[in-house]
Amino acid sequence: GRALLVLLLSATVSLLGGLIFGYELGIISGAVLQLQTDFHLSCFKQEVLVSAILIGALLASLAGGILIDRHGRRRAILVSNLVLLVGSLILTLARSFIVLVIGRMTVGFAISVSSMACCIYVSEMVAAHQRGLLVSLYEAGITVGILLSYALNYIFADVDEGWRYMFGLAIAPTIMQFLSILFLPVNPVKLSLWDSDCQKGLIPLQDTDDRAAAKREPYQEEHYSFLDLFRTRDNMRRRTLVGLRLVLFQQFTGQPNVLGYASTVFHSVGFQSKSSAILASVGLGAIKVVATLVAMALADKAGRRVLLMAGCVVMAISVTTIGLSSCMAPLAMARDCKAATDPNTSHSLTQHSPTPVLPQSALSPIPPLSGAGKSQASSGFAATRDLTKVSAGTRSKEVVPSSSLTQKRDLVGQSKKGTLESTGLPLDAAPWTQHMVLNWITLLSMMAFVSAFSIGFGPMTWLVLSEIYPAGIRGRAFAFCNSFNWAANLLISLSFLDLIDAIGFSWMFLLYGLMGVMAVIFIYLFVPETKGQSLEEIDQQFSRK
């Protein structure tokens, strides 16, 4: 009974950790639309506010590894919960822009530490044949959290200062996770510190070999320094290269940007305004949830290596198809940003643009219209949307298709502000609707890409990272790779439009396809299968040259 309780609590901690992560990344896309009016935010301030969570996450990636290794995974999660509570209270009670930025940075630091500690903690808590399922549960939690944030954005769209409720509701799952982990034992890596019940085997989380290996591991911790990640000892350099290449390929295959024009594709196949927004956000989000559940079921059966390669193959085919179809049915990209600080004009949209026009650092797909004027504050919404996409894309990581949510929030805002004009575009007015078959092919390719990422790179990258390093340096190694993941995501997202200007949209996606092929080759040659193996066995496998 005790073992089942611990198993259920481990699953709860993993699921709630992912849910909080996804919720915090997705909620800003709706909250900032109210904040823009309440605080008269310029485009630049909106970018700063939404990117603040990224700054906090990067700081956590640099410092969180030391916290996880020196003070334990369980304590790191507890600390991250407390920091997240403080950040949520700061945001809920904020009265100035500076306080909002501080609150978002605090939240970013907390969810980044929690994301690393949860994956490592759960991987070490459970038996080898359950590890893939429970670590992947974190990824499922992220997708559920994103969908939950969409729903709450919609519910509080017409509520005065609804953003306070949006930020404040994150407190509930944080408290639940804090209470859940209080009833869990310390990490099995610290098995010698367990109480007498655990020493007597009353919590048989892992088999005899795993427990014996766990007892030996604490004595290895002092033998590893951060620089050992780059040395040949125990083949650590190869492990580091495997981890870094996995997170970099996860980003360089295009996942931060592929969903950036989801709403445009939905418009092109006949869905208008609100329907397009709901389908692009909730519809694709639901596909991600289902695909992640499939990954959870297959992680311990098919194996990590098989799912990674299969996902990469489908992703490569999908982005290549999008690139080829866009040659014949192009989707134009526009970038501009002028945010009005006058409350009376803060919600005006140009009549013809179905999505706000963007800043240089953001991505906004709009149909190729002639003479479409520049939007005002709505262009700031686009900037916000894209930086939200940057943040969300990082951990998974996940892409929050918040461009669609922005449209949905705009539409809801009609009833409240009364200043939004129609964002619909008559299909017969768009020349690119002549390519209906190609548009549907693009849409199906996008769905295939979402599914493939959620089955392969999404959950499997972080599962493998939580397995391949020795316990004594696992936290620092995970954090080191995670910092590259955040940085690569930011780089790709901010350089996307410049690359399109240089080589063209179609060639950009064909390049993503090529990176997918390279990722398949890399996984086949260098990433071993770890399913069904204890962490000690995986360590020995990597230690052999």
Q: What domain count does the chain have?
A: 2
Q: How many whole angstroms separate alpha carbon 44 and alpha carbon 47? A: 5
Kindly give the parts of the chain with pLDDT less than 50.
189-208, 210-211, 214-222, 334-338, 340-432
Q: Is residue 341 part of a domain?
A: no
Element (H, E) at 334: strand 333-334
pLDDT at residue 351, as a whole number: 28
Element (H, E) at 365: strand 364-365
Q: Do residues 49 and 101 lie in contact, with contact meaning Cβ atoms separated by under 8 Å?
A: yes
User: What's the DSSP call for residue 418?
Assistant: S
Element (H, E) at 511: helix 505-526
Asked whether residue 487 falls in the same domain as residue 533, the answer is yes
Asked whether residue 18 falls in the same domain as residue 105, the answer is yes
Asked whether residue 325 falls in the same domain as residue 441, the answer is yes
Asked whether residue 169 falls in the same domain as residue 64, the answer is yes
pLDDT at residue 178, as a whole number: 94
Asked whether residue 252 falls in the same domain as residue 311, the answer is yes
Q: Do residues 531 and 304 lie in contact, with contact meaning Cβ atoms separated by under 8 Å?
A: yes
Question: Buried b vs exposed e over 369-387: b needs ≥16 C-beta within 10 Å?
Answer: beebeebbbbbbbbbbbbb
Question: Buried b vs exposed e over 102-138: b needs ≥16 C-beta within 10 Å?
Answer: bbbbbbbbbbbbbbbbbbbbbbbbbbbebbbbbbbbb
Phi, psi of 334 (to 5 degrees): -130, 150
Asked whether residue 450 falls in the same domain as residue 539, the answer is yes
The model's pLDDT over 321-363, given as tens digits with 9 standing for 90+, comes to 988 888 876 665 544 444 544 443 333 323 233 333 333 333 3
Asked whether residue 175 falls in the same domain as residue 237, the answer is no
Q: How many whole angstroms separate alpha carbon 516 and alpha carbon 315? A: 7
Q: Is residue 223 part of a domain?
A: no
Asked whether residue 130 falls in the same domain as residue 182, the answer is yes
What is the span of the domain harbouring residue 10? Answer: 1-198
User: How much helix, strand and coil, in percent to the nearest 5, is found in the chain?
Assistant: 75, 0, 25
User: Is the entire prediction scored with pTM above 0.75?
Assistant: no
Q: Is residue 372 part of a domain?
A: no
Q: Is residue 409 part of a domain?
A: no
Pairing, β 333-334 against β 364-365: antiparallel
Asked whether residue 183 falls in the same domain as residue 37, the answer is yes
Based on the number of CB atoms within 10 Å of its own CB, is 414 exposed (0-12), middle (13-18) or buried (19 or more)? middle
- How many beta carbons lie within 10 A of that of residue 28, not counting itself? 31
Angle formed by the axes of helices 436-455 and 457-465, nearest 10°: 20
Q: Do residues 66 and 483 lie in contact, with contact meaning Cβ atoms separated by under 8 Å?
A: no
CATH number at 446 reads 1.20.1250.20
